[in-house]
Amino acid sequence: MRRGVAIATMLALSGCMVGPDYRRPATELPGSFAQSGGAGQAAAAIPGDWWRLFGDPVLDDLVESALAVNVDIAQAVARIEEADANLRAVNAALFPEIDLAGAAVRSASSTKVAAPAPPIVRNDVRLAFTTSYEIDFWGKLRRASEAARATDLSTRYARDVVTLSVAALTTQTYFLLRSLDAQIAATRATLASRDDTLTIVRRRADGGLASDLEVRQAEGARSDAAFQLDELLRERSLAEHLLATVTGRLDLAIPAGDLAHLPLPAMPPPGLPSTMLERRPDIRQAEQDLVTASAEIGVARAQMFPTITLTGAFGGESASLAGLFTVPGRIWALGAGLSAPIFEAGRLSALVDVQRARERQALAAYQRSIQTAFREVEDALTNVQRYAALEGDAQASVDAAREALRLANVRYGAGYTGFLDVLDSQRSLNIAELALIRSRQNLLSAGVDLMMALGGGWEPAAAEGRSAGPNVVTAASE
């Protein structure tokens, strides 16, 4: 048996592996991102916990809670455990299987047959170790192990994708909540201003200086602000409910805060190389899916070749339990088996074609993930830069609208203009203030999009690898 196992191991190690050996496909990309640099302050490196850059303890606590108890992450971790167990099961096929089989039988022969024999009652006690081993001469088992290993890695990168998405969703929702807080504060100030205006108009109407139309217009303007405030409060409650669900704290209550204290998002240094896309977990996941599809071709092709199996047994057999372990009762067997497909109507070749088609699908998905990632980085960089520029214009619009309202109130009080100018100025100021708040929210959200697009930040080593020409993403098999 030992000699047979040694021969089988030698044959397995010397056997070939059918099917393609994986090599990362080449994908041409520009050497660097055209929009990198500018807008915010350039940072040499961003850590994995990038949300801490905003310096908000409430945000830090929310993200930590989300990463600890979020059910999507828990589900992704369970998929990893499933893939780990499946990998161990597949690798077990590379080793011989040893079983212990035992039986105790007492039998008697019949005297009613055509040629009866003297009635004999016999005992048969048998206990033996049996083994079987498939020689992986064509690499079927090794290709299956390669596919299972790639699937295992894919689930790990899938968990990283979920983790990054949960952190980004929590951060984006928190920024929305703080934006709504600022909009609510601004709307309450607008409502108070319109209450004051309504009081003034009513007094003027009582003195015969204003018409009922102006009173109704002031009342309508005040109601518009109240309606707007109710709607903002509703949206804030929904945002708070979403944060409660993501963090697993269903009774979550977040006090009002200030959006303005959050710093501008960090920007990568100029000339950020496109090779940083290799850090994105979704691209790594897509590549491991491609590795799996490539290895499955080898498994399917190996099915077209003969299967060689070694079997063996060693134990004892006796009429009594006492003689089971004696030398005369020893039994052993050593054998080899071969099976090969002769006619299967093209089924095996069709299965190979199926796996090749799946590999082409995985390749297209991998290439699409790279192209999409490059576009997302460029879009995020553009949004950060343009929102930063828009914020200055939004602030100038608020200053102009505030001054216009002051002048309209003065002119209306002096009787030089009608109340319609005051209403228009109030509306313009309200719109400008809300636009400024949303502009800051958009800028912060674009920063989060940039972190996601770059796979959670960047590192100095990657940022220093600048290239002026096109970059070809290609490497040997992992």
User: How far apart, in whole angstroms, are the C-alpha atoms of residue 401 and residue 433?
Assistant: 9
> Please, which pLDDT band fits residue 464 given cuts at 50, 70 and 90?
very low
* Burial track 118-151 (b if 16+ CB lie within 10 A, e otherwise): eeeeeeebbbbeebebbbbbbbbbbbbbbbbbbb
pLDDT in tens, 345-388: 999 999 999 999 999 999 999 999 999 999 999 999 889 888 98
> Please, which pLDDT band fits residue 227 given cuts at 50, 70 and 90?
very high
Mean pLDDT of the chain: 85
Calculate ∠ Cα 424-426-430, nearest 5°.
115
Q: Which are the contacts of 214, defined by CB distance < 8 A and separation ≥ 6?
A: 201, 204, 205, 418, 419
All structural domains of the chain: 17-94+137-305+347-467 (1.20.1600.10), 97-135+306-339 (2.20.200.10)
| CB-based contact 73:258 (threshold 8 Å) | no
**Class of residue 309 by CB neighbours under 10 A (exposed 0-12, middle 13-18, buried 19+):** middle
Average pLDDT of the segment spanning 207-224: 88
| CB-based contact 31:470 (threshold 8 Å) | yes
**Adjacent-strand bridge partners of 28:** 472
pLDDT in tens, 74-104: 999 999 999 999 999 999 988 999 999 988 8
User: How far apart, in whole angstroms, are the C-alpha atoms of residue 90 and residue 313?
Assistant: 24
Lookup: tokens for 327 = 């030398």
pTM attached to this predicted model: 0.81
More confident call, 374 vs 46 = 374
| CB-based contact 437:183 (threshold 8 Å) | yes
> Please, which pLDDT band fits residue 466 given cuts at 50, 70 and 90?
very low
Q: Smallest Cα–Cα separation from 298: which of 57, 19, 6?
A: 19
